[in-house]
Chain A
Amino acid sequence: QKEVEQNSGPLSVPEGAIASLNCTYSDRGSQSFFWYRQYSGKSPELIMFIYSNGDKEDGRFTAQLNKASQYVSLLIRDSQPSDSATYLCAVNVGFGNEKLTFGTGTRLTIIP
Chain B
Amino acid sequence: GAGVSQTPSNKVTEKGKYVELRCDPISGHTALYWYRQSLGQGPEFLIYFQGTGAADDSGLPNDRFFAVRPEGSVSTLKIQRTERGDSAVYLCASRWTSGRRNNEQFFGPGTRLTVL
Contacts and interface: CB of A to CB of B under 8 A. Distances in A.
A101 B95 CA distance: 16
B45 A101 contact: yes
Interface stretch (B64-72, B74-82, B99-107): B99-107
A57 interface: no
A46 B105 contact: yes
Given A43-B91, A43-B110, A100 B41 contact: no
Interface in A84-112: 88, 90, 92, 95, 97-105
A88 B33 contact: no
B25 interface: no
- Number of chain A interface residues as a range: 20 to 34
- Number of chain B interface residues as a range: 20 to 34
Interface string B36-65: 000011111100100000011001000000
Interface in A45-101: 45-46, 49, 51, 88, 90, 92, 95, 97-101
Interface of A: 4, 8, 32, 42-46, 49, 51, 88, 90, 92, 95, 97-105
